[in-house]
Amino acid sequence: MSSLSKVVITDFITEPLHYERSVLDGHAVVTALDVMSEDELLGKVEDADALMVYHYFHLTRKTIDRLTHCKVIVRPGVGYDGVDLEAAAARNIPVCNVPDYGTNEVADSAMSMALSLGRGTHFLNSRLRHNRGPWSVEQAAPIPRLTGRTFALLGCGRIGTATALRAKAFGMDVVFYDPYQCDGLDKSLGIRRVDSLEELLRSAYILSLHCPLTEQTRMMIGKEEIAMMPEGSFLINTARGGIVDTNSVVTALQEGRLAGAGIDVLDQEPPAADSPLLQAWRDPDHPAHDRLILTPHSAFYCDQGAEEFRTKGAKEVLRALQGQPLRNQVN
């Protein structure tokens, strides 16, 4: 019988596991299950010494309570709302994330969506592809100058800060709301701070979300909040799907309250076939179609970033297996 520990990667990452094994060889046997639902874990993870969990499902108490000697659950990414932290804590299992790997990529993705929508690029590309309207910028008008427009950030942590700096470089008036950030961040970044969500929303020409999904932020942006935004504004979500009521986004696009929306994350991934958001995105005749960008939870990704989050996740596993202090425990 092998004396090596057992490390299981539950989803998303498949063979070859060279990044994980470059860290864990000689310490653990690493396997990837490539499952799409929590129920598929039954009988496959109970004796694991460590789990590496991505984002295709929620890891809940029903699985965590079956773990017999798990020393750590690592989420090799920023968000950790997909793991039941209380259930893990009750079993004395630390949960860790990798909070810094994709900062630049998510900020770049948020800005690329904001610029493509705000400059009319996506709208015109979509319309002309389907042979709709004249071969002219006029069908996208009005297109206000972005310089001086308010770029509003909900959340100003690592990714929010990186996005703020990018928006500043485009000459935008950057403002943020984040009650958890210390005083003075606005001064150090040369941006503005507001003290309420309502004040942020009422000023937002472009609203970009950069907060975690918690009980406080779940469905934080819905019909009433979107109604506070100026008519003709834009919404960008590269954070977590559960923060936004996407049905309200579709309605706001239909009614012209929102001029465009860029959505990278959904509460259910992949979305159900009858999702109003998905139907609007796929149907060229839908009034929201030309104003909607939808991507498959990909804002975080680049080749170098994948190496980083996989390697850093494996290093956190190794620290747990060796009884060393953990760097990024979140429970």
Here the tokens at position 149 are 């427009």
Three-state secondary structure readout of 7-24? EEECCCCCCCCHHHHHHH
How many alpha carbons fall within 13 Å on the CB side of residue 5?
24
Distances (CA, A) of 318 to 27, 76, 305, 323: 8, 13, 20, 9
State the catalytic residue, choosing from 58, 224, 269, 282.
269
Q: Note whether 100 and 77 are within 8 A (CB).
A: no
Residue 177 DSSP SS3: strand
Q: Note whether 267 and 239 are within 8 A (CB).
A: no
Reply yes or no on whether 255 is catalytic. Answer: no
Reply yes or no on whether 257 is catalytic. Answer: no
Reply yes or no on whether 240 is catalytic. Answer: yes
State the catalytic residue, choosing from 55, 75, 127, 240.
240
- Distance CA(107)–CA(296), nearest Å, equals 16
- Distance CA(289)–CA(250), nearest Å, equals 9
Q: Note whether 66 and 35 are within 8 A (CB).
A: no
Distances (CA, A) of 65 to 61, 213, 244: 6, 23, 31
- Those residues whose C-beta lies under 8 Å from the C-beta of residue 93, and which sit 6 or more positions away, are 64, 67, 70, 71, 72, 73
Q: Supply the residues annotated as catalytic.
A: 240, 269, 297
